[in-house]
Amino acid sequence: MKKTKQVLPRVEQGPRPSLSFTAQRHGKPPRHLVDLSRTERRELVADLGYPQYRADQLSKHYFEHNCIDPEQMSDIPQSQRLDLVQQLLPPLITKVRDQVADQGKTIKTLWKLFDGAVVESVLMKYPDRATLCISSQAGCGMACPFCATGQAGLTRNLTTAEIIEQLRYARQAAAEGIFGEPVRVSNVVFMGMGEPLANYRAVRDALHRMIDPAPEGFGMSARNVTVSTVGLVPVINKLADEGLPVTLAVSLHAPDDGLRDDLIPINSRHKVGELLDSARHYFVRTGRRVSIEYALIKDMNDHQWRAQLLAAELNSRGRGWAHVNPIPLNPTPGSIWTASTAHATDTFVKTLTRAGISTTIRDTRGSDIDGACGQLAAEVVDRDHVSRRAAQAQAAVDARIDAHRHQPQDFDSTLAAISATHNGDDDDE
């Protein structure tokens, strides 16, 4: 095989990035209808001295009409509307600004939360629908060196209502013509700020609010909701048992532990093999094909032999259960890494497809407004600090992984061992 040109490692050394699962203390947001189950809503309304069915009426306004304006709730007595809205629908997020890209088809919104924390969401218009990229945490504690959000660090988890309010605002704006015509938000991807599975309870409840029919939720199709993760294996297994057939997207970015340990720090806890076993288990339990996300970084993880290794790892666990989405690396402040060349990308994709792996290069939206994958860092955060951290983290990785850039000498034996380890058939577990 033709040898791939390698980037020489940087001399600078540095500590390995540290994971953070502990959110800073900021107090609790106001109580909100969305944080409560239908039963809890009805009980609260009764405690306030109103008939329980008022909770269902309020819920239908919220989930069916994206409405929180008491003046539009004509089926509720005017003497009760304001108090019910104040008690169950307090304001949780405030729009700071919108930024527009892609000829008006991509809108990134900066939100300020009740305690001053900030998050971003991205609304994207397609010919027949709109997709919302949603945040589940303010910041992120996973410390991935190529992700601006990860370098910003974790501020705190979002509540279920703070997550869902991003969606309600997007649904309302799209329906009212923010793209120049009414559009239905049919898809949601948890690919904004944060590691969704590190905020499991709030995200799980948010999934129910998205999928359950009114008055409990929006009644969206579970097939149109995607939850992304860097690989929290125990929580993937927990999600598989929830009975929520949403799409799982695994941010893999390297098929070997030698490289992934540095690119994705959580790999120090859950190795590639364990992660892919968990992803396969998710497919078996839900019937939903798993997306494998792979950011292509020039001379870092884009080698043809790594595509071969990725294909072998996936095929050894069966055929047709995973779909690979290569993503051109999006530039972030301070980054010393760049996207793969067109030739390297084409070779990587062709290697996967020849091995029978369904592969699609993912559409990148909003990169010029820092709205693409890995770029969300909420601009009011200290960008110079994020930039410095990103450059230092990437340089430290560069200095450690030179040995992992080259194809292993016993590569053919490695591929054979992978195939022999799993039965490679398509049968369910």
Is 379 assigned a ligand-binding role in the annotation?
A: no
Q: To 5 degrees, how large is the angle CA 2–CA 3–CA 6?
A: 150
24 DSSP β-pair partners: none
| Spatial CA neighbour of 426 closest among 314, 278, 271 | 314
Is 303 assigned a ligand-binding role in the annotation?
A: no
Query: N- to C-terminal Cα distance for the chain?
Result: 36
| Spatial CA neighbour of 216 closest among 85, 89, 63 | 63
Is 352 assigned a ligand-binding role in the annotation?
A: no
* Active-site choice (67, 313, 373, 429): 373
| Spatial CA neighbour of 308 closest among 180, 418, 389 | 418
Residue 411's SS3 state is: helix
Place of tokens 């009760």: 80
373 is catalytic: yes
Is 167 assigned a ligand-binding role in the annotation?
A: no
120 is catalytic: yes
Segment holding 425, helix H or strand E: none
Helices (H), 114-225: 148-152, 160-175, 200-211
Q: How far is CA 42 from CA 51, 144, 271, in A?
A: 8, 43, 45
Is 67 assigned a ligand-binding role in the annotation?
A: no
Is 147 assigned a ligand-binding role in the annotation?
A: yes
Is 133 assigned a ligand-binding role in the annotation?
A: no
Residue 229's SS3 state is: strand
* Active-site choice (67, 120, 162, 165): 120
Is 14 assigned a ligand-binding role in the annotation?
A: no
**Numbered residues of the known binding site:** 140, 144, 147, 194-195, 228, 251-253, 330
**Numbered residues of the known binding site for S-adenosyl-L-methionine:** 194-195, 228, 251-253, 330
**Numbered residues of the known binding site for [4Fe-4S] cluster:** 140, 144, 147
Q: Which residues are catalytic?
A: 120, 373
